[in-house]
Amino acid sequence: MRKIEDKRDKNRTFKKDSSFLKAEENVFDVPTLKLLYTLANKGYITEMGGSISTGKEANVFYATGNEGEVAVKIYRLTSGTFKAMDPYILKDPRFSNIRHSRKDIVFAWTQKEAQNLLRIRKAGVRAPRPIVNDRNVLVMEFMGKDKIPFPLLKDTPLDDADAQNLFDQIIEGMRRLYVRAHLVHSDLSEYNILVDVEKMEAVIIDVGQAVTLDHPNVREFMARDIENILRFFKKYGIKEDKKIISDRVKERNETDELFEKELEEIDETDSKDIS
Ligand SMILES: Nc1ncnc2c1ncn2[C@@H]1O[C@H](COP(=O)(O)OP(=O)(O)OP(=O)(O)O)[C@@H](O)[C@H]1O
Ligand SMILES: [Mg+2]
């Protein structure tokens, strides 16, 4: 009975006519599909929905699971520009002992993204909650409502007051990341920030490349993040000095120490292997 039920559930999860299989027939290899089935059997995914995004290295899908709406980010094993990952991950002390085969880099990258999401949230910055990760698949909280993802910052209509509000949130977010979580996003722009328009809140996403402060290129990454944000907000009349913002991002206040301590206690090597 259990077996039959499992089988029926599997069929429901990956309906033959679903846009998932149709659109992605050629994208996913057998190991990735097997991994998705395992996640389905464990209830993390009950139904795979449509594609939200097809990026250079990863695809993001809408799905539902035991915890409600989720986003499933699947890093491609067979195509993509993984050379681009090297400068971020190979010099990250947290990943100094990974083997350098392409697959290993992708798996470490996925794990790093899940860890970074956790750290970012613990620092008090809004980001998707990581639910489970294994190999090249990351299941996380869906940032959106009723199947519709929140818009990217770049696509959100804003008046000047909204813009100022979001700008302040983003700079404070960078500060919390830096001071509390010891992280720099390193690909921050209007493309990797979603806006919860109802609450007018910024949500940080796409954090696989975020690095710790001991990374040798961290200053350069932070300068670029700040430049991107200043460039985007210029059209809303926000003119701030790079150096002043950089100082603001490094400034600590009384509340930071508690967060910092708690963050130090997270075991960075703890990965969830679900299968
Ligand atoms: N948790 C989430 N909830 C809702 N939508 C999401 C979520 N994560 C990602 N998305 C959507 O998917 C898009 C792509 O996600 P993300 O930026 O993480 O990957 P990417 O840019 O494709 O990554 P890469 O460039 O490394 O391949 C986002 O712009 C956003 O619209
Ligand atoms: Mg992105």
Mutate to test the pocket of ligand 1, among 51, 52, 209 (most ligand atoms within 8 A of CB): 52
247 is a catalytic site residue: no
Q: Which residues surround ligand 2, an ion (CB under 5 A)?
A: 192, 206
Which CATH fold topology does 148-264 show?
A: Transferase(Phosphotransferase); domain 1 (1.10.510)
Residue 188 CA to ligand 2 center (angstroms) comes to: 9
> Given this model, what pLDDT does residue 58 score?
93
CATH number of 2-145: 3.30.200.20
> In what side-by-side order are the strands of the sheet with 68-75?
47-54, 58-65, 68-75, 137-141, 130-134
> Given this model, what pLDDT does residue 275 score?
40
- Strand stretches in the chain, DSSP E: 47-54, 58-65, 68-75, 130-134, 137-141, 144-145, 148-149, 183-184, 193-196, 201-204, 211-212
187 is a catalytic site residue: yes
Domain boundaries, the chain: 2-145, 148-264
Residue 2 CA to ligand 2 center (angstroms) comes to: 40
Ligand 1 atom having least distance to the Cα of 192: 17
Q: Does 140 sit in the ligand 1 pocket, CB within 6 Å?
A: yes
Q: Which of 155, 159, 162, 206 is catalytic?
A: 206
Q: Which of 92, 134, 187, 225 is catalytic?
A: 187
Q: Same CATH fold, 148-264 and 2-145?
A: no
Over residues 124-144, the pLDDT tens digits come to: 999 999 999 999 999 999 999
Q: Which ligand is nearest to the CA of 57?
A: 1
Ligand 1 atom having least distance to the Cα of 75: 27
| pTM (2 d.p.) | 0.88
Contacting residues for 26 by C-beta, under 8 A, at least 6 apart: none
- Residues forming a β-bridge with 149: 144
Over residues 143-191, the pLDDT tens digits come to: 999 999 999 999 999 999 999 999 999 999 999 999 999 999 999 999 9
Q: Does 151 sit in the ligand 1 pocket, CB within 6 Å?
A: no
> Given this model, what pLDDT does residue 94 score?
79
> Given this model, what pLDDT does residue 237 score?
97
Mutate to test the pocket of ligand 1, among 59, 60, 118 (most ligand atoms within 8 A of CB): 60
Q: Using CA atoms of 63, 64, 65, 71 in order, give the dihedral in degrees to the nearest 10.
A: 40
Q: Does 71 sit in the ligand 1 pocket, CB within 6 Å?
A: yes
> Given this model, what pLDDT does residue 270 score?
47
Per DSSP, the residues of 183-235 read: EE-SS-STTSEEEETTTTEEEE---TT-EETTSTTHHHHHHHHHHHHHHHHHT
Strands 201-204 and 183-184: unpaired
pLDDT (tens, 9 = 90+) of the chain, 275 residues, equals 454 445 555 556 666 555 565 555 556 789 999 999 999 999 999 999 999 999 888 999 999 999 999 999 999 887 655 667 777 777 777 777 766 778 888 999 999 999 999 999 999 999 999 999 999 999 999 999 999 999 999 999 999 999 999 999 999 999 999 999 999 999 999 999 999 999 999 999 999 999 999 999 999 999 999 999 999 999 999 999 999 999 999 999 999 999 999 998 875 544 444 44
User: Contact at 8 Å (CB) between 183 and 220?
Assistant: no
**Which whole-number Å values give the CA distances from 79 to 29, 55, 108, in the listed order?**
11, 11, 17
